[in-house]
Amino acid sequence: MDKEPSSGLVWVMGLCGLIACLIAAIYKPKLLLIVIPLPAFFFYGLIAEIRDPYVGPGILREAGQFYINSAYGFTVLLLISILVGLGWHY
């Protein structure tokens, strides 16, 4: 796991991304164009590594199932926060 982000960083990026996307979607939906790319690229890269047939099993062995569930969970929650914020706005 020396080349992968730590579990703490996954949580920080996930929570900050959720809060930023939710606030942007509620108050200024146009700001989503600025807010979304950082967490989206972060979790895209992380999930690409997890799904890699050579790297993924090593991540599972070293970091555990909780790390993988956190990555997938925050990705889904990020999308849900955008939808909830836009629904709240309109």
The tens digit of pLDDT for each residue in 17-69 reads 999 999 999 999 999 999 999 999 999 999 999 999 999 999 999 999 999 99
Backbone torsion region of residue 40, taken as left when φ is above 0, otherwise alpha when ψ lies between -120 and 50, otherwise beta: alpha
C-alpha closest to that of 86 among 30, 29, 32? 29
The Cα–Cα gap between 38 and 72 comes to 16
Residue 23 corresponds to which tokens in the numbers above?
A: 């606030």
Cα Rg of the chain, angstroms: 14
Please give the model's pTM, rounded to 2 decimal places: 0.90
